[in-house]
Amino acid sequence: MSKLIHTPSLGAVIDHHPTSATFTIEPLHPGYGMTLGNSLRRVLLSSIAGAAVTGFRVQGISHEFTTISGIKEDVVAIMLNLKSIRFRVFSDEPQELRLSKKGKGIVKAKDLQLNADVEVVNPDQIICRIDDPKASLEMEILVETGRGYRALDEQGFSKKVTDMIMLDALFTPVLRVRYKVENTRVGQMTDLDKLLLTVDTDGSITPRDAFEEASAILVNQYTALAGQTKVEAGSLFNGSEVDSTQTETDEPAELMTSIEDLNLSARTTNALVNNEIQTIKDLLSLSEAELRDLKGFGNKALDEVKEKMSELEL
């Protein structure tokens, strides 16, 4: 039996809903189901980039402990409703959005005046209710991007916008992550793990994109710690472990260069490694059509690989 720790692959991906999916990762080294499951869960819940309301301004209101004439909700209730609006933002710069509503009716997120860099994921989210036909609401909100949770006293932009009521912000677009570890077997190996990871998002990012981003974050963190140390990885083939004595000594050395040494982007490297493509030789053995069919490998990644192979004159 080989002493190498083989690399797993991403198997079936079951889409329960546009915002929910279950990923099957197998086969895993004994005990690694819990190790990967817990690591991915923590990163998914804390480190995926998202957007949230971090401040707002209402005409005639200077603090949150008050009411607005003609509005059913008080300012605290409006704050909670604003926190429930989910955004998709295509810029790293803070975005200021305006809202103007006159007359009796329900004010929703779809009433916000958006720009080209902002989309509202849940346009039917209620902000407040105007119960006086003669009343009006003039509001400006500040939307920022970030990761995880940011407390009110950590708001950097608030120093520039002193007349706004600032909010703490939960940026993460991942709502819930569950994982389960089951036993699986490959050939005569019966002690392997299978990880089932279910990811639920708020709709501003797909579960697959969140999963890939979390995996890339972990790869970057561990790569920085590993330094120059390389650990040979085993693989499973046709139900049995590959014999570690079968080395390919006749192959040119450059063909055995690890994919991780090519300085590709983290997402492209992660997609190749997840599909058990470990070396340049493995990469060159696939046609362009086969590369397109790899899980998590898009056109952008294909163009990046082709450019790298051209640089290496391969």
Question: What would the pLDDT profile of 72-116 be if each residue is shown by its tens digit?
Answer: 999 999 999 999 999 999 999 999 999 999 999 999 999 999 999
- Verify that 163 and 254 share a domain, yes or no: no
Residue with tokens 């969140």: 210
Residue at 17 is within a domain:
no
Average pLDDT of the residues in 216-243: 72
CATH number for the domain spanning 284: value is 1.10.150.20
Lowest mean pLDDT of 149-158, 179-188, 203-212, name the range.
149-158
Over pLDDT 90: what percentage of the chain? 49
Instruction: Report which listed range, 155-159, 231-235, 302-306, is most confident.
Output: 302-306
In a domain, 74, yes or no: yes
CATH code, 137: 2.170.120.12
Helical ranges in the chain per DSSP H: 32-46, 75-83, 207-226, 266-274, 280-284, 288-292, 299-311
Average pLDDT for residues 231-237, to the nearest whole number?
Answer: 62
Q: For the residues 228-236, what does the mean pLDDT come to?
A: 70
What is the band of 233 on the pLDDT scale with cuts at 50, 70, 90?
Answer: low
Closest to 130 in 3D by CA, of 56, 68, 72: 72
Pairing of strands 236-237, 165-166: unpaired
What does each C-alpha distance from 96 to 92, 118, 122, 125 come to in angstroms?
A: 13, 10, 18, 18
Distance CA 103, CA 134 (A): 6
Q: How many domains does the chain have?
A: 2
Report pLDDT for 242.
39
* 116 within some domain: yes
Same domain? 154 vs 251: no
Q: Tokens 């080989």 map to which residue? A: 2
| Maximum distance among all Cα pairs of the chain, rounded to whole angstroms | 85
Are the beta carbons of 51 and 145 closer than 8 angstroms? yes
Among 170, 189, 213, residue at a domain's last position: 170
Check whether residue 142 and residue 254 sit in a common domain: no
In this prediction the pTM is 0.68
In a domain, 53, yes or no: yes
pLDDT digits (tens, 9 = 90+) for 159-175: 555 678 999 999 999 99
Q: Is residue 194 part of a domain?
A: no
pLDDT the model gives residue 237: 47
DSSP codes, 189-229: EEEEEEEEEEEEE-SSS-HHHHHHHHHHHHHHHHHHHHTT-
Instruction: List C-alpha distances in Å: 42 to 30, 45, 115, 150, 263.
Output: 21, 5, 33, 17, 27
pLDDT 10s digits, 242-287: 343 444 444 556 677 787 777 788 888 888 888 878 888 887 887 7
Residues 57 and 166 in one domain: yes
Distance CA 157, CA 272 (A): 39
Question: Residue 312's closest CA among 253, 236, 244, 228?
Answer: 253
CA distance 57 to 140: 5
Rounded to the nearest 10 degrees, what angle do helices 207-226 and 266-274 cross at?
100
Domain of residue 306: give its range: 247-314
Predicted local confidence at residue 147, as pLDDT: 92
Among residues 170, 202, 228, the one where a domain terminates is 170
Query: Which token pair is 296?
Result: 């998590």
Task: Give the three-class secondary structure for 10.
Answer: strand
Least confident range from 11-20, 199-208, 298-307: namely 298-307
Contact in structure between 283 and 272 (CB atoms under 8 Å): yes
Tokens of 48: 């995926």
